[in-house]
Amino acid sequence: MDLRPYLASGAAEAATAGLLDYQPFILSDDIQTGVAHSWLFADDPRVAPKLVFRRQDCTLERWQAVTDANRRLRAMYDDLLDEVAARFPGGTLLDIACNNGYFPVGAELRGMKAAGLDLGDRTDSFAFLNGALGTKARFLPVGYDSGSHALPVDEKFDVTVMTAIMCHLPDPLHFLAAASAITNKAILFWGQVVNTDSTIVCYSKPHPNLSYPAEFPNGFNDNTRISLGMFKEAARLLGFSEVVKIAPRPTWIMELFRPRGVDLESELNGISSHVALLLVR
């Protein structure tokens, strides 16, 4: 999201305060945030990814790469938000694991009424974005609890969003069930799926940088993927009538994903891919 038209001042202070970091925002001509560059170029993007970029600290080449990577992530998020807002105009939306609040404020800008929840406290970034954009997105300070499979939310939403979160959870099917229980109309998913119609769940080994060490089996926090076949079967069993694959566009970040050489990525290459799915009731 390009915040330049909305920020008369305060961009540098917001960046310094770390109000925005993981998601792709342009704060000023010289300050951008977002994880996309680390996804593409860090040795292991899970280990201390760089998230806030100042032009003065970058070579021209690096600044261009940062700009392109985060532009692609923004393009994808914005296209997904456009799709949801067009299908469910004026509806309600909850983003599970909302991080800085890109989806909730983006949904509000498109005429929806939105909230987000996250394990981390994002109160300040929501206040900052709402203040700058004139939106009223709510932050719910709760997380999904894999130990009890509980999503402590006592209201229902037309659309729930789950982007880049199932990959960190040990119990993806329980998570889907919990999200379904608070969803009136549709779930938007973005992340990796295993490309088969067989019903498969697979995990990488627990990654020490991703979350606190949890007791077996709740420590499986990395690269959790279910297959497309499992998505379709889970959706059917949860009362969704169709699973719509939102066609990826050449402007999206996935165009630049590539195998990282040995181990995980080569294991996944050709087996798994990132997809955007809409499960519709």
Ligand X SMILES: C[S@@+](CC[C@H](N)C(=O)[O-])C[C@H]1O[C@@H](n2cnc3c(N)ncnc32)[C@H](O)[C@@H]1O
Considering only 3, 94, 97, 228, the residue that binds ligand X (CB under 6 A) is: 97
119: contact with ligand X by CB under 6 A: yes
User: 123-133 and 102-109 are packed helices; what angle lies between their axes, rounded to 10 degrees?
Assistant: 20
Q: Which is nearer to ligand X, 97 or 194 (CB)?
A: 97
State yes or no: residue 163 binds ligand X (CB under 6 A). Answer: yes
Q: How many CB atoms lie within 10 A of CB 123?
A: 11
Q: Pattern 172-211, binding to ligand X, x per CB under 6 A?
A: ----------------------------------------
Pick 38 or 135: Cβ nearer ligand X: 38
Q: Cβ 9 to ligand X, closest distance in Å?
A: 26
Q: Which stretch binds ligand X (CB under 6 A): 8-16, 79-87, 117-125, 200-208?
A: 117-125
Please report the DSSP string for 195-227 in residue order: SSSS--EE-PPP-TTTS----TTTT--S--EEE
Confirm or reject binding of residue 108 to ligand X (CB under 6 A): no
From 275, 118, 143, select the one nearest 218 (Cα to Cα): 143
- Site for ligand X contains 23 (CB under 6 A): yes
Residue 75 · residue 51 · CB < 8 Å: no
Phi and psi angles of residue 235, each rounded to the nearest 5 degrees, phi first: -60, -45
Closest CA to 84 of 163, 149, 4: 163
Interface with ligand X: number of residues (CB under 6 A) = 12
Residue 32: CB minimum distance to ligand X, A = 15
Sequence letter at residue 240: F
Q: Stretches 36-44, 157-165, 200-208, 273-281: which one binds ligand X (CB under 6 A)?
A: 157-165
The answer to whether 200 and 194 have CB atoms below 8 angstroms apart is: yes
Considering the rule CB under 6 A, would residue 125 count as an interface residue with ligand X? no
Asked if 171 interacts with ligand X (CB under 6 A), we say: no
Residue 143 interacts with ligand X (CB under 6 A): yes or no:
yes
CA distances 224 to 33, 110, 206, 227, 229, Å, are: 26, 31, 10, 10, 15
Residue of the chain from 32, 67, 92, 99 that contacts ligand X (CB under 6 A) = 99
Single-letter residue type at 45: P
Give the footprint of ligand X on this chain (CB under 6 A).
23, 97, 99, 118-120, 143-144, 163-165, 168
